[in-house]
Chain A
């Protein structure tokens, strides 16, 4: 079980590896598509890597609801709980 802050920094590392964006640009209020310019293939790669890193399952039908970084952090936190 990781704290939300730990999940955020882990997610930021995954986003950085996939997109090259600096980790400090991955903030809770940022939209994956509008702010971080992440396309659907990259988003799916990030999801797969999150599942591996955090030991959770994020079904495809839930991915479309993860609009912001904060949405993803909350989802992962809840899934871990």
Chain B
């Protein structure tokens, strides 16, 4: 077996997002250009004098889907991951697979912050005796991948790449590496996040990373628009089933797409600010294309990281332009965070799913709220309505995900 020749395909998709409780409803809302951002509901929203009072909460609360026992024993980040993984696994045909050839790679940017902070409140208010024994398994960053490994008996490995908002995309890259290197035949891979809690809101607000458009949440996430003022905090999970092409073929699986290659780089510029010339972004994009043995002109579509921050969106534009050159003019660029908000460690996974759907349905999603395109943006941003993707045969797309800490991940996907 020449392990380097193993091809990686996507045979299952699952998601729970601010736009819908599954992939189909999320995709429908994306094509309709709906925003998932709303004024936050929760007893704590008025308690702390938060400067931001809105976010993009999961459209379907996890407790409406899971059993009560699961809700009590899993942190919300684990709950979203389990919901999305069950959908992805069913979508893959609920396959029979050797547990020793099945792995779990599920990332999170923040981890079990609800569990951590709730337990600390309990400690302060009621003492050490009242802190529950499941606190550590629920708060640990590897909690979601552990929950998936347990549920699906994945024994080839359970991993958790942590690279802030690039985590979900890095999980797909890591999962593909496991298959290419022969460590697994199937990988349940993706990202999850449940950090809509007053502390992360206050912390991101302190960085001036969040939009303050409290009076109009649906218009707050506006990537590439001149009036953008920060991202909208979202929550949810995106999970895919990755599989070696021969394994998928042998069991007659329906294939959504092929994951052709990944590029990963680090800015080493600033802990939070993007490198303004886009050099790190450019290296990730170029490396992903090289890994896929493709040229910039082969791309039909890019799902940009574009979070709606003043600095980040322009740096990404420069990075893509640097990597793609004049070929960028013919590529339909979508920023779906305009609708989903920013799902942090889940973003790269959810947006990979949206990229796959765009390629399969030959339709680039709209970027809503771009009323006045920033003149510094040189890319062909799909605005207002979905745009048909032209071209014969399978289409090729790229998904970007970047994170605080200077992480850049680009994935190249092809429809079948």
In contact, B133 and A44 (Cβ under 8 angstroms): yes
CB distance from A32 to the nearest CB of B (A): 14
The reply to whether A45 and B129 contact each other, CB–CB distance below 8 Å, is no
Which A residue sits closest to B133, measured CB to CB? Answer: A44
Contact yes or no, B129 A51, CB < 8 A? yes
A17 close to B129 (CB less than 8 A): no
B5 on the A face (CB < 8 A): no
Given A17-B72, A18-B72 in contact, is the A48-B132 Cβ separation under 8 Å?
yes
If A48-B129, A51-B129 touch, does A41 touch B69 (CB 8 Å cutoff)?
Answer: no
B269 at the interface (CB under 8 A from A): no
B47 contacts the other chain (CB 8 A): no
The prevalent SS among residues of A at the interface is: helix
11 A-B pairs within 8 Å (CB atoms) are namely A18-B69, A18-B72, A41-B137, A44-B132, A44-B133, A45-B132, A45-B134, A48-B129, A51-B129, A52-B130, A57-B129
Tell me how far the C-beta of A60 lies from the nearest C-beta in chain B, rounded to whole angstroms: 10
Choose from B67, B73, B133, B137 the contact partner of A48 (Cβ within 8 Å).
B133
Q: Are B133 and A45 in contact (CB under 8 A)?
A: yes
Chain A residues in 8 Å Cβ range of B72 = 17-18
A20 touches B130 (CB 8 A): no
Q: Which residues of B contact A45 (CB under 8 A)?
A: 132-134
Residues of A within 8 A of B270 (CB): none
Rounded to whole Å, the gap between the CB of B368 and the closest CB of chain A is 42
Distance of A44 Cα from B126 Cα, bound (Å): 16
> Contact mask A33-54 → B, CB, 8 Å, 1/0?
0000000010011001001100
CB neighbours (8 Å) of A41 from chain B are: 133-134, 137
Closest to A60 in B: B129
For B131, give the chain A residue with the smallest CB separation: A48
**Which residues of A are found within 8 Å of B131, using beta-carbon distances?**
48
Task: List which B42-80 residues lie within 8 A (CB) of chain A.
Answer: 67-69, 72-73
Residue A19 CB within 8 A of the other chain: yes
On chain B, the number of residues with a Cβ less than 8 Å from chain A's Cβ atoms is 13
Instruction: Assess the A20–B132 pair: CB atoms within 8 A.
Output: no
Residue of A nearest to B70 (CB): A20
Q: Enumerate the 10 nearest inter-chain pairs by beta-carbon distance, A residue then B residue, closest first.
A: A44-B133, A20-B69, A41-B133, A45-B133, A45-B132, A48-B132, A41-B134, A48-B130, A17-B72, A45-B134
**Interface pair A17/B132, CB less than 8 Å apart:** no
Complex Cα–Cα for A52 and B122 (A) = 12
Q: Which residue of A lies closest to B72 (CB)?
A: A17
- Given A41-B133, A52-B130, 17 further pairs, Cβ under 8 A: A17-B69, A17-B72, A18-B69, A18-B72, A19-B69, A20-B68, A44-B132, A44-B133, A45-B132, A45-B133, A45-B134, A48-B130, A48-B131, A48-B132, A48-B133, A51-B130, A57-B129
Closest to A21 in B: B69
Contact between B68 and A17, CB atoms less than 8 A apart: yes
Distance (Å) between the CB of B217 and the closest chain A CB? 35
CB distance from B26 to the nearest CB of A (A): 29
List residues of chain A with CB within 8 A of the CB of B68: 17, 20
- Bound: A19/B68 CA distance, A: 10
- B116-135 vs A, Cβ < 8 Å mask (1 yes, 0 no): 00000000001001111110
Determine how close the nearest CB of chain B comes to the CB of A73; give it in whole angstroms: 21
CA distance A41 to B133 in the complex (A): 6
**Chain A residues in 8 Å Cβ range of B129:** 48, 51, 57
Which chain B residues border A20 with CB–CB below 8 Å? 67-69
Chain B residues with CB below 8 A from A48, complex form: 129-133
Q: How far is the CA of A25 from the CA of B334 in the complex (A)?
A: 55
Q: How far is A17 from B73 in the complex, measured between Cα atoms in Å? A: 10
Give bound CA distance, A20 to B134, whole Å. 16
Chain A residues near B126 (CB-CB < 8 A)? 52
Please indicate the chain A residues that have their CB under 8 angstroms from the CB of B69 in the complex: 17-20
Residue interface mask A6-40, B partner, CB < 8 A = 1: 00000000000111100000000000000000000
Residue of A nearest to B69 (CB): A20
Question: A16 vs B111: C-alpha distance in the bound complex, in angstroms?
Answer: 27
Cα–Cα distance between A49 and B137 once the two chains are bound (Å): 18
Question: In the assembly, what is the distance between CA of A5 and CA of B73, in Å?
Answer: 27
In chain A, what residue has the closest Cβ to B71? A17
A residues in contact with B132, CB < 8 Å = 44-45, 48
In whole angstroms, what is the CA distance A57 to B130 when docked? 11
Q: For residue A57, which residues in chain B have a CB less than 8 angstroms away from its CB?
A: 129
- Complex CA–CA separation, A18 to B67 (angstroms): 11
CA distance in complex: A52, B68 (Å):
20
Question: In whole angstroms, how far apart are the Cα atoms of A20 and B69 in the complex?
Answer: 6
- Alpha-carbon separation in the docked complex, A17 to B133 (Å): 15
